[in-house]
Amino acid sequence: MGNSGGPLVDVISGKVIGINTCMRYNMEGTSFAVPTNKVKSIMHDLAEGKQISHGYVGIYTATLTPEFAREKNADPNSNYGVIPEANGVIVLHIYDDTPASAAGLRRADVITEIGGKKVGKAAEAYKIIDNAQVGCPVDFKIIRGDKPMTIKVKPDEFATRLRMAKEQREKKHKEKVNKLKEESLRDKASALPPDMQDKVH
């Protein structure tokens, strides 16, 4: 029904369940969509030309269950340390130069509550973070080892982070291209007679 802006339709019920946003060119049959409940919650703001903010803290997580914790704790080669046998969300990775790293969150921290809301699944944590007010500190209740604690994390604007990442990629690409050009010119110059080498630009 269209890979950019078209409706995502349930083939059984015939109901629209999302809005298609993009498709992975190297993954045939795989596309991404915004759920209809999310669309409904922001469509009036979009119609009025308002910007929709999305919180970002820079963590990669997974749902934690007591069974998962026991499995990892029984593995002598596990590099997670001792994981609390609890329900929550475990932090698998903290990205550099992000609100999470600045606040002091660590790998293997177990998040049990964000902004006063209990979390038992990774999807729940991402939803709360996505809806968090940008720039306002949010309390993350965590368990680190066997010690419960609260860490305040100040979410960034996700769109700003995407733009910064794009600019960094473009900068690195430009630097790589310029380096290749310089190397190519040096190779050409070295192949010329000595009296002509300084005329290559």
pLDDT digits (tens, 9 = 90+) for 183-192: 777 766 666 5
Query: pLDDT confidence of 194, banded at 50, 70, 90?
Result: low
Quick count: other Cβ atoms within 10 Å of Cβ 170?
10
Contact indicator for 20, 93 with CB cutoff of 8 Å: no
Q: Which helix (H) or strand (E) holds 131?
A: helix 122-131
pTM of the model: 0.68
The first and second tokens of residue 103, run together, are 């606040």
Which residue type is seen at 197?
Q
Using the structure block, give the residue that is written with the tokens 């604690």: 149
List pLDDT tens digits, range 66-104: 998 999 899 988 888 889 888 999 999 999 999 999 999
- Contact status, residue 56 vs residue 101, Cβ threshold 8 Å: no
Task: Give the mean pLDDT of 104-130.
Answer: 95
Q: How far apart are CA 102 and CA 41, in angstroms?
A: 31
